[in-house]
Structure formats: C-alpha cells, structure tokens
C-alpha cells in the first residue's frame, strides 16, 4: 500500500457526466476515450501511467492504467486507489492464477494468465514447463515488465522467461514488436508439450502466438472421442492440433492442412514424438483451395475439423468474417462421409456463438447436407472468462453429425 499523500500525488482522470460508471463498479474493466474528460493534463499522461479513476462526482472508482493513445483509455488494475503496483502486487495476482491451474492440470503446460479475467489487463502468460512466455499487450504492462517477470520467476520457479511482442493489440497501444529474453536462455529447440495423449512441439521463439494454442485443449479432447478408427481431416492444423489428438485416441489416419511449412514441420515432429507418424500426412496450401481440391479428388473423411484464424477480429470485419465462416462450412461439409462428423471453430470475439453457428449452418445447408448439432465447446478453464467482458470469451466450437 502507498501512503495517502502518495496517492494524492497520483494523477486523476474523471468520467464524463452520463458515462456509465455503474458498469465499472460492476466489474467492466475498460473505460473508452469518449467516456473520459480528456483535458490537457490527461492528454499529457505517458502511455502506461497510473491514475485514480473518478466518476463524474469525483468519487474514486479505483486505480487504472492510462493510455491516451489508445481507444481503451483506462484499464482497471485495482479497486483500491491506493494500491502499489510493484513486485508483491504482481506476485499476489500470479499466485492466485497459479493456484487454480495447479488444481486443473497435472503438468505445468497451460495458460497461466488470461489477461483481464486474471486481473492483469492486456497480459497473457503461457507456461511450458520451466519456460514462461509473456505477451505484454498493454502499455502499462510493458512499463512494469521487470517487476512482472521477477514476480513470475518467484511464483513459478521458471528458469526462462520470454517476451513475445507479436500481439496484434500492441500496435494499438503504441508499442513495438521487439521480442526478447527476460530471464535465462531461450530454448534452442522446440519444446515438447504433452496434451490429450499426444505430444506437440512448440516453437517458443519463432512460432505463432506464444508457440502453442492451449485454448483448444478441451475441444481436441471432444473431437478425439469421435476419432477412433476414423479418417480425419484437420484444416488450419498449425502444429497438429486436432489431428494428433485424434491419432492418439486411435484414429485410422489424419491429414493436416496448413499454409505454414514451419508449422507443418512441427506437426510432423509431434507425430513422430507421439508414435503415430505412419498414420499422419500433411498438405501445405491455402485452406480454401485445398478443400476445393479434395472435393475434386472425391476425398472423404469420417471426421473433419476446421479451426481457422480470426476472420472477424473486430466489429467492422464481422460481415466479411461470417461470410468466410459460411464458406468454410460449405467447402468442408461435402468432404464428410455419410454419418460422419464436422467440427467448426471460431476465435473471433466479434462473432458471438449464435452468429457463428448460424453462418456454419448456412454453409452446411448450401452444401446440401443435413446436420445434427452434437456439441458446443469453448476455451478450456485455463482461459477463464470475465463475465462483464465479452471479448474474454472469444473461442467457440460447434460439432455436427452430417
């Protein structure tokens, strides 16, 4: 805790009259620029500066991180306006996050911090054994990165901590894209990650995101339940996602499709490590083109899963994104054998589950197939949702029998 005099010295930012301070009191973690009185003093604050947020009556609402360069001008850090954002503060948040993951998982491979939902706005931390990868996607986190990394090492015992600066929102915060090593030495080889009976190879320094998508773990497991004895097609496979989980569960064969040659090389290494290389094949190319080509080849699969990138990363891209999801479903459905299964995924927070499901059904219908909806899945429990923030529940998956 800081002293009252120190708190008094902190800058203050005030919400405009008629702005919804009630939403902040109920747990919404952001205040947009058009809800803040942006006077000369507010505009002069450095990105990542700490300030006391006040309502229109100058009643303190909590301690926020401010970035005048961002549409999200304030991010709530602590309901206590006197909180000291130091190593101990970070350690307390990280310990709370770790306690839950330790209950959920037998091995230390998971998302340790899921941004706002774990009380660290804009911060993502994925754990790969004794290596942790931080994505500081907000200016305040970048400014406090030394304390965050020190607390992370203290709480987890990590011997290596990497900074990944590839997050899309960093540019919106005015941050650079320079990654680096914060502690120890970066792994010289891909890190093997056990998950759902398979072994995935994660490139923590040159791969996509932090190296692996932990969020699909539960959806991989559901798909694996459908996979015994099945011919499997995994589109947008990355490092083998659904394909390796299916093979570990007894699939007859799996074909992984992706546009990235390095990702498919890691998928092949994962198949080898899992002991299923003889049943695993890859095909590099544009997913839409490969799906069309497979249809021309009269290829059929018992289980088809498509897990594309975010086609609708913002509200402005929603309509185009929904058309893309519909097209994926239309191209994938004909490849499913009679009585087989189709899994479709979306990581676009702008496309809620209802709209995504409707787009998927339109595509299946246009392909002339009749679907039964079997299962709706979301991100695993190491990606908790903040109920007040729809963006924290971005991932959804729908599984059909055709």
Kindly report the CATH number assigned to the domain that includes residue 130. 3.30.750.80
Is 2 a residue whose pLDDT tops 80? no
pLDDT single digits (tens) 355-367: 999 999 999 999 9
Q: Which entry of 132, 160, 306, 347 is annotated as an active-site residue? A: 347
Domain holding 276: CATH number? 3.40.50.150
* Annotation marks residue 347 as catalytic: yes
pLDDT at 36 over 60: yes
Decide if pLDDT at 306 tops 60: yes
Predicted local confidence at residue 7, as pLDDT: 47
Structure confidence by residue, pLDDT tens digits, 103-116: 999 999 999 999 99
Nearest alpha-carbon partner for 66 in 37, 94, 95, 92: 37
Mean pLDDT of 158-185: 93
Strand 109-114 and strand 123-128: the pairing is: antiparallel
CA of residue 24 relative to chain centroid, distance: 24
Same domain, 303 and 230: yes
Residues 381 and 297 in one domain: yes
Cα 239 to Cα 273: distance, rounded to the nearest angstrom: 13
Last residue of a domain, one of 78, 98, 128: 78
Q: Alpha-carbon distance 334 to 282, whole Å?
A: 20
DSSP assignment of 126-179? EEETTEEEEEE-SHHHHHTHHHHHHHHHHHH--SEEEE----THHHHTT-----
Report the percent of the chain where pLDDT is more than 70. Answer: 98
Domain of residue 303 covers 192-401
Residue 3 pLDDT greater than 60, yes or no: no
252, 348: one domain: yes
Mean pLDDT of 198-219: 92
Q: Is the pLDDT of residue 21 over 80?
A: yes
> Residues 218, 311: one domain?
yes
204 and 147 within one domain: no
Give yes or no for residue 5 having a pLDDT over 80.
Answer: no
Predicted pLDDT at 124: 97
pLDDT reading at 209 higher than 80: no
Angle between helices 145-156 and 87-104 (to 10 degrees): 40
Give the per-residue pLDDT at 1: 46
Are 45 and 7 spatial neighbours (Cβ–Cβ below 8 Å)?
A: no
Mean pLDDT, all residues of the chain: 95
Longest dimension (CA), the chain: 75
Residues 176 and 249 in one domain: no
Q: Which of 58, 78, 98 is the endpoint of a domain?
A: 78
391 pLDDT band (50/70/90 cuts)?
confident
C-beta neighbour count of 286 within 10 angstroms: 12
pLDDT band at 125 (very low <50, low <70, confident <90, very high): very high
Q: Could you tell me if 292 and 159 lie in one domain?
A: no
Which of 143, 162, 183 is the last residue in one of the domains? 183
Q: Report whether pLDDT(8) > 70.
A: no
pLDDT surpassing 50 at residue 291: yes
Mean pLDDT of all residues in 189-218: 93
Let me know whether 312 and 373 are in one domain: yes
């Amino acid at each position: 805790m800081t002293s009252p005099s120190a708190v008094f010295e902190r800058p203050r930012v005030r919400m405009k009259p008629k702005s919804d301070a009630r939403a902040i009191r109920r747990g919404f973690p952001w205040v947009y620029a058009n809800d803040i009185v942006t006077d000369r003093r507010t505009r002069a604050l450095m990105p990542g500066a700490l300030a006391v947020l006040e309502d229109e009556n100058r009643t303190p609402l909590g301690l926020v991180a401010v970035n005048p360069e961002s549409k999200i001008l304030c991010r709530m850090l602590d309901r206590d306006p006197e909180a000291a954002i130091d190593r101990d503060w970070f350690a307390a948040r990280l310990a709370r996050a770790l306690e839950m993951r330790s209950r959920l998982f037998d091995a230390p491979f998971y998302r340790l911090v899921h941004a706002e939902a774990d009380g660290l706005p804009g911060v993502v931390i994925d754990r790969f054994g004794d290596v942790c990868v931080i994505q500081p996607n907000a200016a305040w986190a970048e400014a406090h990165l030394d304390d965050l990394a020190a607390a992370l090492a203290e709480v987890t015992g990590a011997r290596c901590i990497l900074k990944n600066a590839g997050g899309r929102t960093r540019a919106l915060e005015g941050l650079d894209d320079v990654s680096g090593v914060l502690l120890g030495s970066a792994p010289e080889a891909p890190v093997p990650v056990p998950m759902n009976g398979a072994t995935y190879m994660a490139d923590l320094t040159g791969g996509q995101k932090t190296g692996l998508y932990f969020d699909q773990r539960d959806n991989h497991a559901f798909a694996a339940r459908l996979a015994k004895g099945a011919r499997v097609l995994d589109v947008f496979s990355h490092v083998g996602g659904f394909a390796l989980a299916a093979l570990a569960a007894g699939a007859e064969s799996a074909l992984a499709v992706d546009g990235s040659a390095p990702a498919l090389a890691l998928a092949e290494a994962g198949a080898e490590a899992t002991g299923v290389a003889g049943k695993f094949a890859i095909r590099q190319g544009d997913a839409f083109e490969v799906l069309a080509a497979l249809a021309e080849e009269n290829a059929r699969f018992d289980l088809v899963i498509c897990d594309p990138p975010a086609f609708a990363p913002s509200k402005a891209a929603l309509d185009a994104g929904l058309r893309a999801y519909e097209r994926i479903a239309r191209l994938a459905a004909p490849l499913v054998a009679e009585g087989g299964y189709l899994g479709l995924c979306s990581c676009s927070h702008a496309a809620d589950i209802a709209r995504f499901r409707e787009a998927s059904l339109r595509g299946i219908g246009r392909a002339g197939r009749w679907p039964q909806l079997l299962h709706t899945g979301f991100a695993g429990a190491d990606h908790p949702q903040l109920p007040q923030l729809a963006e924290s529940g971005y991932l959804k998956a729908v599984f059909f029998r055709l």
